[in-house]
Amino acid sequence: MPSEQARGEAADPYCLRVGEAAELLAGHPWRRFVVLGDSVAEGLGDAVPGYPDEPWADRIARELTQQQPELVFLNLGRSNTLAADVRAGQLEAALEFAPDLALVTCGGYDVLRPAFDAARVEDEIEAIVSALAATQCDVITVGIFDGSRSPHMPERFRAGMEQRLQELAAATLRVSDRHGTIHVDLTGHPTASSADIYSADGIHGNRRCHAISAAEAIRSLGARLAASGKELDQ
């Protein structure tokens, strides 16, 4: 009889199919994977029956390690961290780690602050991504889920939050376009308006959301590999 986890994720059309990650990541070249950012990077989220109780970055690292057992993973993400503090407090350690793959997701905490400034956040993301890209590291950028579409969002905050999240998504995409990052666009994902992807706080994604996010990231990595023809050194 299939486990609850197998029924949940295996039946979810937005999650990875059995064997899909292995097919997409076969022969990947990455050996040092670092994550920078706020609570989205850290991996906060409620458990969901039927889905692994595993943050999305850990899931990505696990799938990468299946194909490259020597891969080393470092997650520097911390909750309640502004984009400027990600740059000031995490970038140096990330560069010292000498990654060949980095995931950068920040700005989500800035969106929740009264004095949100999309241009300033874009400058911070630009500084982080450009520093990593300058070392020939492949960088993943993320347009985070549009939580304004969540049924948990109070109606009086919905319009303002939507505008801020769209501004953050557009800023992140501009940085991606300038540096050719591996961009994961979750902002317009069809599940964004589903109550069952959010944690009880109504802000963070739960483990279903993390499973979906990991799937989209792995598919984006696979698309980059297919486009570039990258392979492990033999």
Q: Find out whether 147 and 199 touch, Cβ atoms under 8 Å.
A: no
Going by C-alpha positions, the residue among 74, 90, 73, 1 that lies closest to residue 38 is: 90
For residue 37, what are its two tokens?
């950012």
- Taking the C-alpha atoms of residue 8 and residue 48, their distance in angstroms, rounded to an integer, is 9
Please report which confidence band the pLDDT of residue 195 belongs to, taking 50, 70 and 90 as the band edges.
confident
The matching CATH number, chosen from 3.40.50.720, 3.90.1150.10, 3.40.50.1110, 3.40.50.300, for 4-228 is 3.40.50.1110
State yes or no: pLDDT of 215 exceeds 90: yes
Mean pLDDT across 36-62: 96
What is the dihedral sign for C-alpha 95, 97, 100, 105?
negative
- Residue 214 pLDDT > 80, yes or no? yes
Q: Give me the mean pLDDT over the 51-69 stretch.
A: 97
- Over residues 87-106, the pLDDT tens digits come to 999 999 999 999 999 999 99
Predicted pLDDT at 44: 95
**pLDDT at 233 (0 to 100):** 43
Average pLDDT for residues 17-25, to the nearest whole number? 97
pLDDT confidence of residue 218: 98
Mean pLDDT of the chain: 92
The tens digit of pLDDT for each residue in 145-194 reads: 988 888 777 888 889 889 999 999 999 999 999 999 999 999 989 998 88
Q: Which of 63-67, 83-87, 160-164 has the lowest mean pLDDT?
A: 160-164
pLDDT band at 7 (very low <50, low <70, confident <90, very high): low
Please report which residue ranges of 46-154 form alpha helices under DSSP H: 56-67, 83-96, 108-111, 118-133
Q: Where are the domains of the chain?
A: 4-228
Residue 1 has pLDDT above 60, yes or no: no
DSSP secondary structure letter of residue 119: H
- Give the pLDDT score at 148: 81
DSSP state of 203: S
> Could you tell me what percent of the chain has a pLDDT over 90?
81
Each residue's pLDDT tens digit, 109-119: 999 998 899 99
